[in-house]
Amino acid sequence: MKLLSFILLFVSCSCFALSSEEFDKQYQNLNGELNKAVINNMIYSKDYDDKKIPLSEKIESKSKWCDLTKTRINLLDFVIQNFSSYKEWVKKNNLDDDSSLDDFNKFYENQQKSYIGCMAGLEELKID
């Protein structure tokens, strides 16, 4: 009975696994979105303490920072959900990454907290 349960669990889990090509396509798409978010953040980055900068520009800057954090979370979530495919992709592309799933989970949690703080800071700016 335990063997049958294990086989059913294995088959059901493997049905949802991404092919190498599917993983690569989705990973590259999310990575591209992250690159766009990084560039937008750099373009719109403002000094929040500078009194000469209009509030609307500070809000836009903070919004881009929140977008960057959210995009990073999306990529991390994808890697965590497909960690074995990620490790295969790393190996296939001859990349050096000894990160563990635990490392990704910790970074994900950190980014979640950062995003919550970012959104709260954005709301504060909008209220001022």
In a domain, 65, yes or no: yes
Give the number of domains in the chain.
Answer: 1
- CA–CA separation, 82 and 23 (whole Å): 8
Q: Domain range spanning residue 114?
A: 19-127
Tell me, yes or no, whether 120 lies in a domain: yes
Rounded average pLDDT per 10-residue block, the chain, 128 residues? 43 60 95 96 85 90 96 97 95 93 97 96 87
Domain assignment present for residue 7? The answer is: no
Q: Is residue 1 part of a domain?
A: no
The structure's pTM equals: 0.81
Q: What is the pLDDT of residue 113?
A: 97
**Spatial distance between the Cα atoms of 128 and 125, rounded to a whole number of angstroms:** 5
CA dihedral of residues 119, 71, 96, 79 (deg, nearest 10): 100
